[in-house]
Amino acid sequence: QNNISQVLKNLNILDLNPAYSTGNEWGASPDAQILNSDSPVNGKNIARCKMATTENYNAIIIKAEEAHSYWRSIPAPKRGEIIRQFGDALRKNKEDLGTLVSYEMGKSLQEGFGEVQEMIDICDFAVGLSRQLYGLTMHSERPSHRMYEQWHPLGIVGIISAFNFPVAVWSWNAALALVCGNVCLWKPSEKTPLTAIACQHIIAGVFKANEIPEGVCNLIIGDKVIGELMTNDSRIPLISATGSTRMGKAVAVAVGARLGKSLLELGGNNAIIISEHADLDMSLIGAVFGAVGTAGQRCTSTRRLIIHESVYDTFTAKLVKAYGQLRIGDPLDQHNHVGPLIDTDAVAAYLNSIENCKTEGGNFIVEGGVLQGQAYTSGCYVKPCIAEVKNDYKIVQHETFAPILYLIKYKTLNEAIALQNGVPQGLSSAIMTLNLREAEQFLSAQGSDCGIANVNIGTSGAEIGGAFGGEKETGGGRESGSDAWKAYMRRQTNTINYSNTLPLAQGIKFDL
């Protein structure tokens, strides 16, 4: 607890924090509602925040619009230099911020540090990008004409993030959006406001040192009301939202109705195919980390194992043994593998899914349940469990954000691929095989229908260098690496005539 007080102090977290920030200025209304942040680790209140009002929101948008006129005129490599300094500031704060992520969200300390590392990595990536942001040049059909395209910033980018990666997903969006010349407005999850406030203090320190005006990077603490103001606001050309499919559909409808752009990262229902040609020991690590890491609360968590009948018994025996060795408890204690779920609502959803699975005929080979006792007073610690199921059970088609792993047996690879694809979601997928034909078929157009498809790696833990996201109900958005930056810019095609005449395209004659 002493350690946590020091961490909060180092990160400038107060007992009662303001509702919004435009950079170095923070504020709240006198009649602001209060949001509590309680730790799932021990149920204790960490700190409180004020919540923003509609008036606060409108004032931020006006600041942000002003700031955009300034920020878009700064050369991209200079914007990159600011992000380079932000990456350095994150390196200095990695230990504290990673610890707060672990304490406020409940993931293991290692994963908390890993999350901050993802932030540092995306900053490095964005710095490189800031000297690229390439457009193409193309040949004109007309003589003495030149055609090319360039990429311009959009304006205000709205970022709505989830509790499970409370800081990294914001940074993927913000680092790219900022080097692209946008300004940002971040609404973090109500379940993890403090890690967001900590990040805002870190980036604001960099802005202050560089005399960047207010309004470039904004934070707003609020609930659904603020989320709806953002999605309906045509002053925000792009909304990037991470969360449930239900939330994403509401965002898509609101943003679509005003013909805005949305970038959606929604639910997954990720499977690993364990082939008869798999290295079973390697598969075991991928499957167990994928299913129980972050207590099954990643959008890339492994929800289903599709196992070849010839290795089914051997592999399930290994799984059951591994689950028996899992240490569940305080995530800040590095001996533990699995921490708590985010809150007691999540525990209720976990229990409900187990019940539904049993009703549909699921056979639990590792039983679940809520842990009780001194070490588990928050009521958020649950046992990772495993059930043998059919892929078409309603509960198996649904993403439960908890450590429940479903096992399905298969005979042929075609059948396994059909099972893997036979869910509404399409985020991450994997095959464990040492057989080249199988691996290539899985990656081909006849193979996985997901945004991420891996061979001999589990479904979670993607690197930032690739584009991250998925198909179908996962929402279709791509964030982070590759050319995901294009989502944060508008493309402009330019044709320049340096001849003495004005020839029309398509050979049209128009003489005056």
Residues at the interface with ligand UN1 (CB under 6 A): 118, 164-165, 169, 242, 298-300, 460-462
- Measured between alpha carbons, how far is 330 from 251 in angstroms, rounded to an integer? 35
Q: Give the bridge partners for 239, in sequence order.
A: 158, 262
* C-beta of 96 vs 118, nearer to ligand UN1: 118
Question: At its nearest, how many Å lie between ligand UN1 and the CB of residue 411?
Answer: 30
* C-beta of 56 vs 242, nearer to ligand UN1: 242
* C-beta of 50 vs 298, nearer to ligand UN1: 298
* C-beta of 13 vs 109, nearer to ligand UN1: 109
Q: Going by DSSP bridges, is the β-strand pair 404-410/428-432 parallel, antiparallel, or unpaired?
A: unpaired
Q: How far is CA 478 from the centre of its chain?
A: 10
Question: At its nearest, how many Å lie between ligand UN1 and the CB of residue 292?
Answer: 13
Residues 268, 301 contacting (CB under 8 angstroms):
yes
Measured in Å, how far apart are the chain's first and last C-alpha atoms? 83
190, 214, 265, 438: the catalytic one is 265
> Cα dihedral sign for 344, 347, 351, 356?
positive
* C-beta of 315 vs 401, nearer to ligand UN1: 401
Q: Taking the C-alpha atoms of 280, 286, 290 and 294 in order, what is their torsion angle to the nearest 10 degrees?
A: 130
Question: At its nearest, how many Å lie between ligand UN1 and the CB of residue 463?
Answer: 7
Name residues whose C-beta falls within 8 Å of residue 326's C-beta, 6 or more positions apart in sequence.
288, 292, 337, 338, 384
Residues 299, 469 contacting (CB under 8 angstroms):
no
Angle at 475 between CA 470 and CA 476, to 5 degrees: 55
Q: Going by DSSP bridges, is the β-strand pair 261-265/137-138 parallel, antiparallel, or unpaired?
A: unpaired
DSSP for 34-57, written as a single string: EEEEE-TTTS-EEEEEE---HHHH
Tokens for 139, please give them: 């040949």
Place of tokens 């289903």: 304
Question: At its nearest, how many Å lie between ligand UN1 and the CB of residue 461?
Answer: 5
For the chain, how big is the Rg over CA atoms in Å? 24
Question: At its nearest, how many Å lie between ligand UN1 and the CB of residue 242?
Answer: 6
Residues 235, 61 contacting (CB under 8 angstroms):
yes
Question: At its nearest, how many Å lie between ligand UN1 and the CB of residue 460?
Answer: 4
Question: At its nearest, how many Å lie between ligand UN1 and the CB of residue 109?
Answer: 16
* C-beta of 153 vs 403, nearer to ligand UN1: 403
Residues 201, 89 contacting (CB under 8 angstroms):
no
Q: Is 265 a catalytic residue?
A: yes
* Residue with smallest beta-carbon separation from ligand UN1: 462
Q: How far is CA 314 from the centre of its chain?
A: 35
Angle at 205 between CA 200 and CA 210, to 5 degrees: 125
Question: At its nearest, how many Å lie between ligand UN1 and the CB of residue 164?
Answer: 5
Name residues whose C-beta falls within 8 Å of residue 450's C-beta, 6 or more positions apart in sequence.
270, 426, 427, 428, 429, 470, 471, 474
* C-beta of 201 vs 298, nearer to ligand UN1: 298
E runs forming strands in 367-422: 385-388, 404-410
Residues 80, 127 contacting (CB under 8 angstroms):
yes
* C-beta of 43 vs 114, nearer to ligand UN1: 114
Question: At its nearest, how many Å lie between ligand UN1 and the CB of residue 165?
Answer: 4
Could you tell me the CA-to-CA distances from 432 to 272, 304, 310, 438 in Å, in that order?
Answer: 7, 13, 14, 9
* C-beta of 277 vs 304, nearer to ligand UN1: 304
Residues 18, 50 contacting (CB under 8 angstroms):
yes
- In this structure, which amino acid lies at residue 215? G
Residues 94, 242 contacting (CB under 8 angstroms):
no
Residues with catalytic function? 265
